[in-house]
Amino acid sequence: MTPKLVFVAAVARNGVIGAQERTPWRLKSDLRRFRELTWGKPLLMGRRTFESIGRPLPGRKTVVLSRDAEFRAQGEHLARSPEEALDAAARLAESMGASEIIVAGGAQIYSAFLARADVIHLTEVALNVAGDARFPALDPGEWRETWRETPRRTDEDEADFHYLRLERR
pLDDT tens string 83-132: 999 999 999 999 999 999 999 999 999 999 999 999 999 999 999 999 99
pLDDT digits (tens, 9 = 90+) for 56-71: 999 999 999 999 989 9
With a pLDDT cut of 90, the percent of the chain lying above it is 93
What global pTM score does this model have? 0.96
Alpha carbons 63 and 129: distance in angstroms, whole number? 29
At residue 166, does pLDDT exceed 90?
yes
At residue 144, does pLDDT exceed 80?
yes
Cα–Cα nearest to 43, from 65, 17, 23, 61: 61
Q: Map out the domains of the chain as residue ranges.
A: 4-168
At residue 74, does pLDDT exceed 80?
no
Distance of CA 137 to CAs 1, 31, 68, 123, 153, Å?
Answer: 29, 23, 27, 15, 26
Architecture of the domain spanning 4-168:
3-Layer(aba) Sandwich (3.40)
With a pLDDT cut of 70, the percent of the chain lying above it is 100
The Cβ-side half-sphere exposure at 76, using a 13 Å CA radius, reads 27
For the segment 152-169, the average pLDDT, to the nearest whole number, is 98
